[in-house]
Structure 1
Amino acid sequence: MKGFVLAGTRSGIGKTTVSMGLMAAFENVSPFKVGPDYIDPSFHKFMTGNKSYNLDLFLMGEEGVKYSFSKHQKDISIVEGVMGLYDGLGNSLDNYSTAHLARVLDLPVVLVVDAIGKSTSIAAEVLGYKNLDPRVKIAGVIINRVSSEKLYEMLKEAIEEYTKVPCLGYLRKNEELGISSRHLGLLQADEVQNLEEKKEMLKQEIKKTIDLEKIKQIANLNRTFEGEDIFKNLENLYNGLKVGVAKDKAFSFYYEDNLELLNKMGVELLEFSPIDDKCIPDVDVLYFGGGYPENYLEELSKNNEFKNSLKSFHEKGGVIYGECGGFMYLTKGIKTLDEKFYSMADLVDCSIKMTGKLLISRFGYVDLSYEKLTGRAHEFHYSTIDEVGNDKREFKLLKKDGREWLCGYKNKNLLAGYPHLHFFKNIDILKKILEGVKKCHI
């Protein structure tokens, strides 16, 4: 078994660029992403040809991340970290950070550091990351944005002399290697021009300046990793149930493990497009995930045939679940920054207003309660609920600092809200949604 975590000293260090380059350079990679991010995994898939899976200790629990990591191993597993190595929820070292994840999975860490403005002090930086938690195995360093080979050799000498951590190579400073940023962090993979060219350029750069053989040695774990099948009791529980999944350029944010868990439960998944299709598929449940509906308002608003089909399904008691972007689509409509209003599905009695900035008061991990059930979720949105009607709100959300609020609108068999749910820590809520289908349909 081979695997390692690629971590950064901070956000914006370039670990995503380095991760993509390494994923392209190695063969048969199983890519993973620490945290709740939906964007990076789409790039991982492009670089490797394999699906990328999130590893999130808060949303999935220790057994959940072990199960996913074990299930999806290939020749070499590359786990891209999130934020800085130790950044998580609060200042505990058990804070769901990249370092915490590396300890749980007992994986070596390759640390990405920035060369800009550095000399011997770069050794102090690496030493601090090494010593903060000795349980974290920092096995190597890659230096990013290096202006010359001579500078790299000087930085390498300082790091190796004062920290005893080996340098594995560098990536030169080159703006053409990066990916343009946008409000959720990065553009989606299918929106980046010339991504195939960037992939090949990154691959060649990595092969020239990074020691892949050394990384293979570091990644050689000399063990097998088998996570317990924690969902064995759910196998084929809903045989015959059909779930339609909204999948197009407006709706693309789904955890791969969520979809695979539904399959394990016996559910048949059918994809549909609220932009292009004229009617909903013949299913028992409709699942509207997150995405960028705000970027396709005209197409979504004009597709009245689809919206009429959706309304008919709802009126007949069909089960609908929506989160974040999917929730936004299910409301009366969305108002843009310039106050232009676009009508949407009109199944939730409220409307949405784009804000142009992250709604920081609702951002991040939350504990969630729904009726008598409890779970965990994550919020990240650049819009807010504008006009609120009479639909009852079912989710009570609580942050670690004590802030709480209500979301999760209920209308007949429809449930939708801003929170993103990873099903691993929300099994009872998932079963509650699926069991809304009349028993004769199951």
Structure 2
Amino acid sequence: MRINTGIFSAQRHIRQVRPAMAPLYRHISGTSGTLKPATATQSSAAEQRFKPLPSFSRDTPLSSELSRGSSVTADLKRTRSTGLPHVSCNERKVSVGWNNGVASRFHHIWLRDHCRCADCLHPVTKQRLVNTFEIPPDVQPVKVEGRPAGLEVTWSESPRHVSTYPWEWLSRSSYDPPEKHSMSLNGSRKTLWGSSIQHSPPTVSYEEVMRSDAGVYEWLKNIVRQSNGNDGGFWDFTSDLKHGDTAYTNLALGAHTDTTYLSDPCGLQLFHLLSHEGTGGKTLLVDGFYAAAKLREKYPSHYELLTEVKISAHAAGDADSLYIPDEPFSILKKDLNGDLMRVRYNNDDRSALKYIDPVLVDDWYDALRSWNRCLTSPDAELWVKLSAGNAVVVDNHRVLHGRSAFTGKRRMCGAYVGADEWRSRLRVLSQAIDKQSWDSEF
């Protein structure tokens, strides 16, 4: 049995991240409270911890010392001489100058809230232990040093608290200026493909999948539990109109993604042809990211419009179910960096167009026509005639599928897997097999 997979489903590249911190095994618990400046007569435990420093002007240069007699200046000189990132600070922020000439600035309260030590971040669960609400809004360090292990900050607490922030973690967590963010595998590099992929489609054998966990990188079989969706888990269907959906007919289906009508559309989709006694019924696959790249190149304003205008969808063919997503969505969705992260499109299931500025209606339909031209261009369409025993796995947030009309009885089965589920499984496997770390995301 051969299974078509690879770039249809998971990304080929997962970014490599070095470990952010060595595990420590201490634990504290805290209580919430509102802090006031410490007094000589009476103060809470939290107030005793955070003692204010001498006042500064908000215009104090970033290179100035924090307090008289501090070792910050000397430490910064040592930082420069050792080739570590250049560190400077003022009353409000710490600045880290990277080797590429860019400087990232971090507010003091942000740094204290993101302390990486085991008292503040549980070493196993990676959950926050520091009590954010006990940190004074004007919290300041008494000492800032650049160490090989990272930025070391000593805080004005009693007793003193020392935080170490690994350099790579700081770089990936930069918000001023913002680092390119990627909280999921969507940030991995993608190889766009068109119809030419038919000459060498990525495949993996059933035996390879079953032999070891490494095979799961290439296929779905042992990833996680399947998602129930609205088809009742693992579905088996033919053209009997058992459900009120054109998928249960012998009609041709244009390129689309599934479950656009769910608030959380399925992530992976498995198709398995069991039998077909008749003609037609070819499977259509289109890389939505490839089509979107063509749209952006040829019709940039149409691309932008499809990332901005919200539409909705529905599944209303069964008497006992009515699916409508919680909120409208755009056909093309960008991530925080402005890069395409998801395609969500099924024109057959599209609901009334009502979440749109009236002045954009004509332009939106023009954009939709341009999108359809990109999807249906010969260089974008991959047509595959499946044989009994063939299975195909696709990333439903990227790859659109369809079919040609057919005659006779055509029996298919398949399943859905949630996007969070398969990406979680892939990250776990990347840690176990490729020894990659995701600590910088915590």
TM-score range (shorter-chain normalised) is: under 0.3
Q: TM-score, normalised by structure 1?
A: 0.26
Give 1 or 2 for the bigger CA radius of gyration: 2
Q: TM-score, normalised by structure 2?
A: 0.26
More helix by share: 1
- Larger RCO, structure (CA 8 Å, separation 6 or more): 2
More strand by share: 1
